[in-house]
Structure 1
C-alpha cells in the first residue's frame, strides 16, 4: 500500500516535569487524522508495573507503535529490575538496530519517580535539562511554558497542567483533555 498520500496521524503533546521530589507526566487526549479530530479522549500516559516496579510512560506518535514499544520496555524492565536507565538504553539500541522496530513511529517519555528520560527511534535516551521534557506536535510549546514556570512556587503537576493548557491554545493537534500521572513524593 502506498502511503505517500495518506495524511499522517497527528495530535499529541506529552510533558514530563520533575520538581520537589515528584515527577508528573501529562498528555492530551486528541488524535487527529489530517485535519479531522478522530478522538478527543485518548489516554497516552500510562502506568506500567513490570516486576512490581512502577513506571509512568507517555507516548507520542502512532498508538500501535507506541504500545509495541511499551511492551518491549516492560520486558526490558523485567530483565533489569529497578534499572530504568539500563532498560531504556537497551530499548533504544533495539529500536535503532531491529528492522521491525526501525519502522515504528513514536517517542516515549518515561520515569520511575527519580529518573526522567525521552526515548527516540534514533537510539537516543535523553535526560532533559531543567527537569522538563516534552514531545509531540505541541511539545515545544509545552516545553517553553514549563521552563518559564519551573522556578515558580507551583508544583510539578500545576506546571504540567498550565503548560499543557498553553500548548492546547496554540497547537491545533492538542486539546485540553488531560491524563496526568504523578510518581514520587
Structure 2
C-alpha cells in the first residue's frame, strides 16, 4: 500500500521555553490519522529520572518510536550522569548510525533546566537561539508566537501556554489539551 493510499499519523505541537532560570516544555494532546482525530488526550511531554539526573522531554512523531528513543536517552543519561549534552550527542550518534534506530520517525525536545536541545534522526543536537524551540505540525506557529512573547513580563510557562493556544487555533493537527512540565537549573 503506498503512502497516498493510507494517510499517515499527523499532529502534535511541542514547545520548549527557557526564561529566568526555568525551562518549560508543553505539548498538545491530539493524535490524528489523516483527517480524523483518533485521540485528544495523548501525553507527549514526560519527566525522566536517571542516575540522579532530572530531565523533561517532549516528542513529536511516532509514539512507539519516541518511547524507544526516550528509553535510549535514559540509558545514555545513566552512563553520563549530569551531562545532558553528552547524552544527547551519544543518542544522536546511535540514531544516525544504528540500522534499527535509523528508521525511527520522531523528534525530541529535552532539558535539564540549564540546557535545552532538539534531537533529530539526522544526527542533530540543536540548541535553539532565543531560548525557544518547537517541533511538530504546529511548531512554527508556536515558535513564532513564543518568540514574540519573550520580551514580555510573562513567565516561561505563561509564554508556552499562550504560544500553544495560538498554534491550536491555527493548526488543525494541534489541540488545546496541554501537558506541561517545568524544571529549574540545578
Normalising by structure 1, we get a TM-score of: 0.98
List, as ranges, runs of 4+ consecutive aligned residues in structure 1 with deviation greater than 4 Å.
Answer: none
Aligned equivalent of 2:167: 167
Contact kept? 2:95, 2:121, Cα under 8 Å:
yes
For 2:114, what is the secondary structure of its paired residue?
coil
Structure 2: segments with no counterpart, 5+ residues: none
Aligned equivalent of 1:110: 110
**Count of matched residue pairs:** 184
Contact kept? 2:52, 2:82, Cα under 8 Å:
no
For 2:92, what is the secondary structure of its paired residue?
helix
Tell me if 1:75 matches 2:79: no
Shift of 1:11: 1.2
CA gap of 1:3–1:62, structure 2 versus 1, over 3 A, is farther
**CA deviation vs aligned residue, 1:11-70 (integer Å, no higher than 9, x gap):** 100000000000000000000000000000000000000112110010000000000000
Shift of 1:130: 0.1
For 1:117, what is the secondary structure of its paired residue?
strand
Separation in 1, partners of 2:59, 2:2: 23
Aligned equivalent of 2:101: 101
Separation in 2, partners of 1:9, 1:177: 18
Separation in 2, partners of 1:87, 1:3: 36
**CA deviation vs aligned residue, 1:88-108 (integer Å, no higher than 9, x gap):** 000001101111001000000
Aligned equivalent of 2:62: 62
Aligned equivalent of 1:6: 6
Aligned equivalent of 1:128: 128
Structure 1: segments with no counterpart, 5+ residues: none
Separation in 1, partners of 2:2, 2:15: 29
What's the Cα RMSD here? 0.8
For 2:51, what is the secondary structure of its paired residue?
helix
Aligned equivalent of 2:91: 91
Separation in 1, partners of 2:140, 2:174: 12
Separation in 2, partners of 1:178, 1:51: 28
For 2:56, what is the secondary structure of its paired residue?
strand
